[in-house]
């Protein structure tokens, strides 16, 4: 079992749901990324996504795109991100997964990427631009190494294809709540709960919902049908203030929002 399998097994036994924050690596620098991951872990986050900056991100909205651009302008390197991740995982309770473009994985080498990530204590990867038809090689490597390879299902994914994606995913299945890009939203689609309920009938994998989740009301709406909720843009927007505000204040603001959303998850 991977660290993610163990996490969701424990949460299901306890009747609890996972809070999964997203953090862009290197915005404004890796020291802050390390500190914010530790802050989120100390607040009780169950699993953290670390976004690997990429010049042509898939489905990321303006807030996350801007954070990637800021990190890339400083010349951030994958090796530096993994080194920072290793510092975090050495003392964290929450597993880390990377949100990474397949172009980066391919360029690094599939086996080499998985080996380097595992050495840093990372438990899995979300690869949003990896087509299920082209995933067999990476999937086999990940399964052999107990490294979760997490696939995405969207509202427009045909149902036959959604089942195939669920069969290939490990760790959990990432359900994209909305059609379009990431970003904070006031309302979520009315059909979202029905879509996730249908998907749950097709797979035993934990289903975690992301995109557009930013408010306690969203959390309370989706917690009954989800195994976990992923929050990105609302947190990344607050983290962006670290470039010109005291970092202790920014960390406290990020931690306060995380605590508010986790409280809604438990209510």
* 180-189 pLDDT, tens digit each: 444 444 455 5
Taking the chain (267 residues) in runs of 10, the rounded mean pLDDT of each run is: 95 97 96 98 98 80 89 95 98 97 96 98 96 96 97 93 96 82 50 90 96 87 93 93 93 96 92
- Annotation says 60 is catalytic: yes
- Annotation says 129 is catalytic: no
Looking at residue 177, its pLDDT comes to: 81
Looking at residue 11, its pLDDT comes to: 97
* Beta carbons of 34 and 88 less than 8 angstroms apart: yes
Looking at residue 57, its pLDDT comes to: 64
CA 59 centroid distance within chain? 13
Looking at residue 180, its pLDDT comes to: 46
Catalytic residue among 60, 201, 260, 266: 60
The string of pLDDT tens digits covering residues 201-252 is 999 999 999 987 888 998 998 999 999 999 999 999 999 999 889 999 999 9
* Beta carbons of 236 and 24 less than 8 angstroms apart: yes
Task: Quote the tokens at residue 115.
Answer: 């080996």
Residue 210: phi and psi, rounded to 5, are -140, 175
Q: Which among 23, 49, 120, 38 has a CA at the least distance from the CA of 78?
A: 120
Looking at residue 147, its pLDDT comes to: 98
Task: Quote the CA–CA distance of 174 and 128 in Å, as a whole number.
Answer: 10
Q: What domains, with CATH codes, occur in the chain?
A: 3-266 (3.20.20.70)
* Beta carbons of 154 and 176 less than 8 angstroms apart: yes
Looking at residue 189, its pLDDT comes to: 57
CA angle 173, 90, 60 (to 5 degrees): 40
Task: Quote the tokens at residue 180.
Answer: 């379009």
Catalytic residue among 31, 49, 87, 201: 49
Looking at residue 56, its pLDDT comes to: 78
Looking at residue 40, its pLDDT comes to: 98
Looking at residue 212, its pLDDT comes to: 79
């Amino acid at each position: 079992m991977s660290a993610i399998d163990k996490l969701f097994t424990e949460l299901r036994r306890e009747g609890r749901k996972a809070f999964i924050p997203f953090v862009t690596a290197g915005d404004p620098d890796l020291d802050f990324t390390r500190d914010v991951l530790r802050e989120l872990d100390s607040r009780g986050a169950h699993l953290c996504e670390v976004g690997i900056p990429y010049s042509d991100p898939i489905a990321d909205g303006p807030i996350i795109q801007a954070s990637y651009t800021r990190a890339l302008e400083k010349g951030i390197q994958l090796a530096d991100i993994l080194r920072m991740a290793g510092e975090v995982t050495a003392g964290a309770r929450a597993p880390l997964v990377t949100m990474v473009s397949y172009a980066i994985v391919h360029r690094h080498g599939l086996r080499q990427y998985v080996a380097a990530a595992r050495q840093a204590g990372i438990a899995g990867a979300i690869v949003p631009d990896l087509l299920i038809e082209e995933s067999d090689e990476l999937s086999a490597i990940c399964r052999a190494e107990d490294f979760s390879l997490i696939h995405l299902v969207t509202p427009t994914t045909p149902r036959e294809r959604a089942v195939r994606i669920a069969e290939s995913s490990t760790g959990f299945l990432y359900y994209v709540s909305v059609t379009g890009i990431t970003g904070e939203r006031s309302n979520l689609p009315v059909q979202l709960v029905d879509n996730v309920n249908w998907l749950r009938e097709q797979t035993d994998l934990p289903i975690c919902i992301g995109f557009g989740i930013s408010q306690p009301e969203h959390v309370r709406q989706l917690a009954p049908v989800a195994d976990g909720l992923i929050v990105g843009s609302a947190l990344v927007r607050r983290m962006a203030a670290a470039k010109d505000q005291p970092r202790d204040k920014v960390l406290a603001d990020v931690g306060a929002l995380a605590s508010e959303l986790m409280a809604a998850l438990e209510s």
